Amino acid sequence: MMNEMPDAGKFIKSKIDAEINVEKKEFNPLSCVELLRDFKEKAVLAKGEKLQFSGVGQNDVYNISKPFSIGGETVLAGRVEAREAWADSHVQFFKNETGILVPADGAPTLQLEDGFATHIGDETIIGGVDVYPNPTPTDPKRIDYRTAFYRGHDFPSLKKFALGPENMKDVRLTSLANNKIAAFTRPQGGSNGNGKIGYIELDSLDDINAKNLLNAKIIENQFAPEEWGGANELHLLPDGQIGVLGHVAYRDEQNIRHYYAISFVYNPKNHQASPLKIIATRENFPAGPAKTAELVDVIFPGGLVRHDDGTATLYAGLSDTEAGSIKISDPFIF
């Protein structure tokens, strides 16, 4: 009997190790390549279309928001930039005139990138990436970025009210049923690599600041090693969970970037998220120019308009030069 105990102990330990490994395997995030394979096996999407803009000269318009209301007018925000320019964008607001998007009368021009919008209470919240010079003694030309937020009931009352942490994009907000503000963040560096998604609840818009946003709790096991992602838009669902429209990305061996539109559902009660799923790719839109060769396979989702029939229209930037929309059926959303 004494000789059997070590063997039994080894068996039990081996069984426990196997169970732990199975548990780890179940929670290992799928890579972009695996997510893309699953998407192509299931996806039945109508071909997307490009949006047409006027009134911007020779500039490109890309990385748009979805259409939203402000001051009784429906507009969308678009990033406007010359094809050869870098870190020289501004956000303009456009209205639809017989299928052509033209600058909205009386709307401001904001020195931001990748504009987005949401509604909290009776105010419209508009944000984007603020790129600014931040010289140091060793790098006098250093440029950093952060997320800037504006609030107002209409364009004339729109005022900047908050700045996110340095070098953090993709901060998104929504109101919750308990009247708190849900904030999704995207810290980078260290264990966060090129970017993970964090979550925090705050009491009011007045609590949106860099210090508080840095306290967001990371949603672990969402992205494969060396890959990254972020939230682009939030939808409060009837059951209190949050539907998240976002992106996942990686660089291949040729340094080409690949960005895909994704969705997942987040449960704020237990800090758990459903697995990521791709809902659209650059290939789902007509071919077109890219800002550089490494941006050919880039789609940057800006927002979802959900329809009563269970479908939705996705609005997105394409290859950092154009913008488009595509109809998506319910199984691919939340």
What pLDDT digit, counting tens, does each position of 51-85 carry? 999 999 999 999 999 999 999 999 999 999 999 99
Question: Residues 124, 106: contact at Cβ < 8 Å?
Answer: no
What is the reported pLDDT for 307?
A: 92
The pair phi, psi for residue 250, each rounded to 5°, is -160, 165
Q: Is residue 24 part of a domain?
A: no
> Is pLDDT of 24 > 60?
no
Q: Is residue 262 part of a domain?
A: yes
The structure tokens listed for 169 are: 């994009």
**Banded pLDDT at 46 (limits 50, 70, 90):** confident
The pair phi, psi for residue 96, each rounded to 5°, is -90, 125
What pLDDT digit, counting tens, does each position of 237-274 carry? 999 999 999 999 999 999 999 999 999 999 999 999 99
What is the reported pLDDT for 263?
A: 97
Which residues 6+ apart lie within 8 Å of 118 measured at CB?
Answer: 68, 124, 125, 172, 173, 174, 233, 234
What is the reported pLDDT for 187?
A: 97
Question: What is the distance between the terminal CA atoms of the chain, rounded to a whole angstrom?
Answer: 57
What is the reported pLDDT for 68?
A: 98
What pLDDT digit, counting tens, does each position of 204-221 carry? 999 999 999 999 999 999
Tell me how many domains the chain contains: 1
Q: Is residue 23 part of a domain?
A: no
The structure tokens listed for 37 are: 């394979």
**Banded pLDDT at 304 (limits 50, 70, 90):** very high
Q: Is residue 232 part of a domain?
A: yes
SS3 265: strand
Q: Is residue 151 part of a domain?
A: yes
Q: Is residue 7 part of a domain?
A: no
Provide the residue type at 53 as one letter.
F
Q: Is residue 87 part of a domain?
A: yes
> Is pLDDT of 2 > 60?
no
What is the reported pLDDT for 10?
A: 37
What whole-number distance in Å separates Cα of residue 255 and Cα of residue 203?
42
Q: What is the mean pLDDT of the chain?
A: 91
- Domain containing 307 equals 30-332
Handedness of CA 163, 164, 167, 172 (dihedral sign): negative
What whole-number distance in Å separates Cα of residue 189 and Cα of residue 196?
9
The structure tokens listed for 175 are: 């109101």
SS3 88: coil
> Is pLDDT of 133 > 50?
yes
> Is pLDDT of 196 > 60?
yes
**Residue 278 burial class via C-beta count within 10 angstroms: exposed 0-12, middle 13-18, buried 19 and up:** buried
**Banded pLDDT at 27 (limits 50, 70, 90):** low
**Banded pLDDT at 42 (limits 50, 70, 90):** confident
What is the reported pLDDT for 191?
A: 94
User: Rounded to a whole number, what is the largest CA-CA distance in the chain?
Assistant: 89
Q: Is residue 3 part of a domain?
A: no
| CATH classification of the domain holding 204 | 2.115.10.20
pTM: 0.90
